[in-house]
Chains A and B, each alone.
Chain A
């Protein structure tokens, strides 16, 4: 008799066959928040309408975004027994043409396509193969392996591509302790920024025999420039849900929460649908897949508050309070959410777990560098030719990522400054571009992989103006609990504002440093402790530019010519 999981797999295989090996064409439109921002939904509707009105034999699906965001809205067509052909920057008006020429007449629009994939090795005209394009070839996709291929809202498509096999393996072949050991051996380090070994963190929670224990997954991700956590949830939520169930099994927990900021509708909808589908398929709830293990999961929403991403503040928010950090100890593993033993991980960390359990720790350890195994999911934005989300092996240099994956900057321009790892991490100048992407190498350079966001600035970017916008963000988002952070950020913002308006004095630099030092010493969480980081790193790489703003003789910064910047008026009471 087939097991519950084998039955699910059989249903999934049938579904995938219908889509990919039947006699209908499959038109896929890359969705997600980023796609929405450039009109992917309109393109999807137009394709559906065209397919219906022409009576074309085609399935039209909104699938996950591939991460090549400069090509969005992105559409691809898989013909029966044919290759998959990709179109970029598609307009709704082009839908009719794609359906008529490509789907009905079997003739791809060669001047509009940018790549092909699969087929019989004969190629499609002179299109490059998708897998040979540098921004795809240089990636090693683990957490983002299904991006561009599957419908995030269809559990069966995820299962058909190897999904939940890791959970099934964990429940049938492995004890919780063996999984914790496997994660430890894989060298998986937390991707939320602190880079703490995930297996070790799990082992703090596992031994407790408390009747209720929680595993929390942090997708607060308020970092400007980072969209990979939300990207994973909206594009492949089941990777995360499967990882979190395994996390729950390994730590012998009873409840899981996925924590997302309100207003980010696509990730929220995606996570909720994935959880509902899992309950229906017996992957969540009592006796998962017929085993002894029972586990509940839900989505918890927070209001707008950046500090809610700090682990103890996150627990306060789930409890429905103001998201301000708690004193430690007690640590979450002893007394966390509702004072119960708790384990907290970032979305990316958890999303690696299914593939580690499926392929073994040796495989994962073999990717990346000695000290940081696995991949980095990098979000490129700002002045870069190919903005997008790319999963590259750890150990690649920043320059390789910028030039080869991101396509560098336009001819005649130069990348001047990078803001890496979110507003509490540093700025990097050109001499740091040969740094390896690796937790230790990046932090030695004065920045951090942190959230994975890299904002690229060309020579038009004024470093002091950029610093002001970072500190303005930190000031706006300080929760206000510790006064060195609350007042320190305000004070630093005032000084930077003076510098931008050419009203600063040389003594202001020492004042900045003094405020920064107090914040580091006197704040409870990273928001205050790390608040001086952007300025400290900027002094290292752009010291001259910063000092030139102190004599009252430079050109005012900002876009208005007088050094002003429009800032939010609201602060927390």
Chain B
């Protein structure tokens, strides 16, 4: 009997709809290396209270997504089941299950930025990134996330590159930033 490998089917929304379980005979070398890295991350958590959620946050903070190995290792560490860990991972909207682009661009669409023009920023960023909704640009360089509130409403409209906030945006300035992230001439 080989170890169970789990293949998750994704909708475009990145949320697993249902889970298929397949059996494979051997774990690939890459997977076992990733598994080792995840164990290190999980064991390096500094705070006294370790939970399923804290473990998933620790993995995502380090490698920016949750591979299958993270789900399994978290279940082992916390003594819970793969189903239980998935129920948590799929609930919080900050988690993703495939590697993101090189940079993550958050654009706030919440009501405070909405009144000062967030929609136009979203639209211009879509054009530059050649996407029509949240997700990765075709070249894999930029991941666009809609954010409900980045916490600097007084400087709205706000965007953020890898959590570093940039305020007072215009459609033009945001497009310029998005082009730079893709490595295009501005």
Q: Provide the bound-state CA to CA distance between A206 and B28, in Å.
A: 55
B152 with A34: CB separation less than 8 A = yes
A interface with B by C-beta (< 8 Å): 33-34, 36-38, 69-70, 72, 221-227, 230, 257, 262-265, 296, 298-306, 317-323, 379-383, 387-389, 419, 423, 453, 455-457, 461, 466, 469-470, 473, 476-477, 479, 558-560, 565-573
Q: Scan residues 83-131 of chain B and give those whose CB is less than 8 A from a CB of chain A.
A: 87-88, 90-95, 108-117, 119-120, 122-123, 126
What would be 21 A-B contacts, judged by CB atoms less than 8 Å apart? A34-B154, A36-B152, A37-B166, A224-B111, A225-B110, A227-B151, A227-B153, A265-B163, A303-B92, A319-B51, A321-B53, A382-B116, A383-B115, A387-B155, A469-B110, A470-B111, A558-B119, A560-B123, A566-B133, A570-B13, A573-B91
Q: Scan residues 25-78 of chain B and give those whose CB is less than 8 A from a CB of chain A.
A: 47-49, 51-57, 61, 78
Q: Provide the bound-state CA to CA distance between A350 and B43, in Å.
A: 33
B interface with A by C-beta (< 8 Å): 12-15, 17, 47-49, 51-57, 61, 78, 87-88, 90-95, 108-117, 119-120, 122-123, 126, 133-134, 146, 148-156, 158, 163-168
Q: Provide the bound-state CA to CA distance between A318 and B78, in Å.
A: 14
Q: Which residue of B61, B90, B123, B154 contacts A69 across the interface (Cβ within 8 Å)?
A: B154
A225 with B153: CB separation less than 8 A = yes
List 14 extra interface pairs beyond A225-B110, A225-B112, A227-B153, CB under 8 A.
A33-B150, A34-B167, A262-B61, A304-B148, A306-B148, A318-B49, A320-B78, A320-B88, A322-B91, A382-B115, A388-B154, A389-B154, A453-B112, A572-B90
B168 with A38: CB separation less than 8 A = yes
B110 with A320: CB separation less than 8 A = no
Shortest B19–chain A CB gap in Å is 12
Q: Which residue of B148, B151, B164 contacts A473 across the interface (Cβ within 8 Å)?
A: B148
- Central interface residue in A257, A319, A381, by most chain B CB within 10 Å: A381
Q: Which residue on chain A has the smallest CB distance to residue B91?
A: A322
Across-interface contacts of A568 in B (CB, < 8 A): 109, 134, 146
Shortest A196–chain B CB gap in Å is 25
Q: Provide the bound-state CA to CA distance between A150 and B146, in Å.
A: 34
A262 with B94: CB separation less than 8 A = yes
Q: Which residue on chain B has the smallest CB distance to residue A387?
A: B154
Shortest A100–chain B CB gap in Å is 29
B49 with A300: CB separation less than 8 A = yes
Across-interface contacts of A263 in B (CB, < 8 A): 94, 163
B57 with A301: CB separation less than 8 A = yes
Shortest B98–chain A CB gap in Å is 14
Shortest A464–chain B CB gap in Å is 13
Q: Which residue on chain B has the smallest CB distance to residue A257?
A: B49
Q: Provide the bound-state CA to CA distance between A222 and B93, in Å.
A: 13
B13 with A569: CB separation less than 8 A = yes
Decide yes or no: A381 and B154 within 8 Å by CB, A224-B112, A321-B88 being known contacts. yes
Shortest A132–chain B CB gap in Å is 23
B133 with A569: CB separation less than 8 A = yes
Across-interface contacts of A473 in B (CB, < 8 A): 110-111, 148
Decide yes or no: A300 and B92 within 8 Å by CB, A33-B152, A225-B112 being known contacts. no
Across-interface contacts of B116 in A (CB, < 8 A): 381-383
A224 with B148: CB separation less than 8 A = yes
Q: Which residue of A37, A262, A466 contacts B114 across the interface (Cβ within 8 Å)?
A: A466
A573 with B158: CB separation less than 8 A = no
Across-interface contacts of A477 in B (CB, < 8 A): 148
B51 with A304: CB separation less than 8 A = no
A566 with B122: CB separation less than 8 A = yes
Q: Provide the bound-state CA to CA distance between A331 and B108, in Å.
A: 35
Which 10 A-B pairs give the minimum distances between C-beta atoms? A320-B51, A303-B92, A224-B110, A37-B167, A387-B154, A69-B154, A381-B153, A37-B165, A320-B53, A304-B94
Q: Which residue of A227, A304, A457, A479 contacts B152 across the interface (Cβ within 8 Å)?
A: A227
Across-interface contacts of A560 in B (CB, < 8 A): 119, 123
- Central interface residue in B14, B54, B113, B149, by most chain A CB within 10 Å: B149
B92 with A302: CB separation less than 8 A = yes
Across-interface contacts of B155 in A (CB, < 8 A): 34, 37-38, 69, 72, 387
Across-interface contacts of B111 in A (CB, < 8 A): 224-225, 419, 423, 455, 466, 469-470, 473
B112 with A301: CB separation less than 8 A = no
Q: Provide the bound-state CA to CA distance between A566 and B109, in Å.
A: 9
Across-interface contacts of A303 in B (CB, < 8 A): 53, 56-57, 91-95
- Central interface residue in B56, B113, B119, by most chain A CB within 10 Å: B119
Q: Provide the bound-state CA to CA distance between A461 and B13, in Å.
A: 31
A381 with B112: CB separation less than 8 A = yes
Shortest B162–chain A CB gap in Å is 10
Q: Provide the bound-state CA to CA distance between A303 and B89, in Å.
A: 9
Decide yes or no: A469 and B152 within 8 Å by CB, A559-B119, A570-B93 being known contacts. no
B158 with A37: CB separation less than 8 A = yes
- Central interface residue in A299, A318, A559, A560, by most chain B CB within 10 Å: A559
Across-interface contacts of B49 in A (CB, < 8 A): 257, 298, 300, 318
Q: Which residue on chain A has the smallest CB distance to residue B113?
A: A224
Shortest B77–chain A CB gap in Å is 11
- Central interface residue in A306, A323, A455, by most chain B CB within 10 Å: A455
- Central interface residue in B14, B78, B151, B152, by most chain A CB within 10 Å: B151
Q: Provide the bound-state CA to CA distance between A498 and B132, in Å.
A: 21
Shortest B169–chain A CB gap in Å is 10
B120 with A559: CB separation less than 8 A = yes
Across-interface contacts of A304 in B (CB, < 8 A): 92-94, 148
Across-interface contacts of B154 in A (CB, < 8 A): 34, 69-70, 227, 379-381, 387-389
Shortest B158–chain A CB gap in Å is 6
B146 with A572: CB separation less than 8 A = no
Q: Which residue on chain B has the smallest CB distance to residue A266?
A: B151
Across-interface contacts of A72 in B (CB, < 8 A): 155
- Central interface residue in B133, B148, B156, by most chain A CB within 10 Å: B148
Q: Which residue on chain B has the smallest CB distance to residue A559?
A: B119
Decide yes or no: A300 and B149 within 8 Å by CB, A469-B111, A569-B134 being known contacts. no
Q: Provide the bound-state CA to CA distance between A114 and B129, in Å.
A: 41
Q: Provide the bound-state CA to CA distance between A476 and B110, in Å.
A: 11
B164 with A36: CB separation less than 8 A = yes
